[in-house]
């Protein structure tokens, strides 16, 4: 698919948040995947603020990315934290030399195979939801023009989440995102159950859960709950056709 076509399709897909009944967690994972494809990054992830004002690693393109984002949040050290605090984009083209800037994040990210890292805020005017993280396996992995595109994608996603029907009722936005934070915990539990039962890694377990949800036209959160409650067996997921490759989560 031509890059221009992929960019156009991405913005159309982001507009799906303007319809009733969309799944916030599925949307955010899809956003992370699209950023990898459109921007040519190794990984992407989203860190959003919860009802207590604390950042949480909510969606990522792989388990490797998720673990690094968890480290960022736990140590309050990394590009997404700087992005959140400043409200502006953060760029680091050479992670090897960024230990002084991020003493916890930089060494861990380099050990995980990343060479550069970037973050753009998810915000609408003074309303800040979090940050979009973008990691590359090579130095200077994101051109300035693509950083602008990344910000545009993040802006459209934020507008979708803060759709006008919620602006006058802020508590509904907070409640909706809080459900996504809770669902993230349930999803991690379900991934563990599937990984153990099917003898696959966590990325593959997520792919199986997601494929089952799409095959049966169910919310990802509902499938995760059913797995935890033993209403859906791991074997039932394994026989479903996988959605895309097993590396995404």
With H, G, I as helix, E, B as strand and everything else as coil, classify residue 144. helix
Is the pLDDT at 203 greater than 60, yes or no? Answer: yes
Tokens found for residue 38? 């459109």
Determine the pLDDT at residue 132: 96
The per-residue pLDDT for 25 is 79
- What mean pLDDT is predicted for residues 11-24? 71
Rounded-to-integer distance, Cα 179 and Cα 124, Å: 21
pLDDT attached to residue 245: 41
pLDDT in tens, 28-83: 888 999 999 999 999 999 999 887 888 888 889 998 999 999 999 999 999 999 99
What is the number of other CB atoms lying within 10 angstroms of the CB of residue 73?
16
Report how far apart, in Å, the C-alpha atoms of 32 and of each of 42, 94, 102, 129, 198 are.
11, 22, 23, 15, 25
What confidence score (pLDDT) does residue 172 get?
Answer: 54
Query: Which stretches within 87-229 are classed as H helix?
Result: 105-111, 144-161, 164-167, 170-198, 202-215, 220-228
pLDDT for 137: 97
Q: How confident is the model at residue 176 (pLDDT cuts 50, 70, 90)?
A: low
Query: Is the pLDDT assigned to residue 93 strictly greater than 80?
Result: yes
Residues 6+ apart with CB under 8 A from 217: none
pTM: 0.69
For 3-168, the fitting CATH number among 3.40.50.720, 3.30.479.10, 3.30.450.40, 3.20.140.10 is 3.30.450.40
Strand ordering across the sheet containing 116-124: 55-60, 43-49, 127-136, 116-124, 90-92
- Give the mean model confidence (pLDDT) for residues 10-25: 72
User: If we measure between CA atoms, which residue out of 104, 100, 109 comes closest to residue 66?
Assistant: 109
Architecture of the domain whose range is 179-238:
Orthogonal Bundle (1.10)
β-strand partners of 119: 90, 133
- Cα torsion for 102, 103, 109, 115, to the nearest 10°? 60
Domain range summary for the chain, segments of one domain joined by +: 3-168, 179-238
**pLDDT-derived band of residue 180, with 50, 70 and 90 as boundaries?**
low
Q: Kindly report, residue by residue over 118-164, the tens digit of the pLDDT.
A: 999 998 887 888 999 999 999 999 999 999 999 999 998 888 777 64
Given a cut of 50, is residue 244 above it in pLDDT?
no
Among 14-18, 55-59, 93-97, 212-216, the range with the most confident prediction by mean pLDDT is 93-97
* Mean pLDDT estimate for the chain: 84
Q: 71-80, 183-192, 240-249: which has the minimum mean pLDDT?
A: 240-249
Does the pLDDT of residue 242 top 50, yes or no? no
CB 39 within 8 A of CB 149: yes
């Amino acid at each position: 698919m031509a890059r221009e076509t992929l960019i156009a399709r991405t913005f159309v897909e982001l507009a799906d948040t303007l319809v009733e009944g969309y799944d916030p967690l599925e949307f955010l994972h899809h956003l992370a995947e699209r950023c990898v494809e459109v921007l040519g990054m190794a990984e992407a992830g989203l860190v959003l603020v919860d009802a207590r004002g604390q950042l949480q690693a909510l969606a990522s393109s792989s388990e490797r990315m998720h673990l690094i984002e968890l480290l960022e949040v736990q140590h309050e050290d990394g590009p997404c934290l700087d992005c959140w605090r400043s409200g502006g984009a953060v760029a680091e083209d050479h992670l090897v030399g960024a230990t002084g800037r991020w003493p916890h994040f930089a060494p861990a990210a380099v050990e995980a195979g990343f060479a550069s890292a970037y973050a753009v805020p998810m915000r609408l005017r003074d309303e800040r939801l979090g940050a979009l993280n973008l990691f590359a396996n090579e130095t200077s992995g994101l051109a300035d023009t693509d950083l602008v595109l990344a910000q545009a994608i993040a802006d459209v996603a934020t507008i979708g989440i803060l759709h006008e029907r919620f602006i006058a009722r802020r508590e509904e936005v907070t409640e909706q995102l809080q459900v996504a934070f809770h669902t993230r915990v349930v999803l991690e539990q379900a991934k563990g159950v599937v990984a153990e039962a099917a003898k696959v890694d966590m990325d593959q377990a997520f792919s199986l859960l997601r494929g089952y949800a799409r095959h049966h036209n169910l919310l990802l959160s509902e499938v995760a709950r059913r797995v935890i409650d033993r209403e859906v067996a791991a074997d039932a997921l394994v026989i479903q056709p996988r959605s895309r490759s097993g590396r995404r989560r």
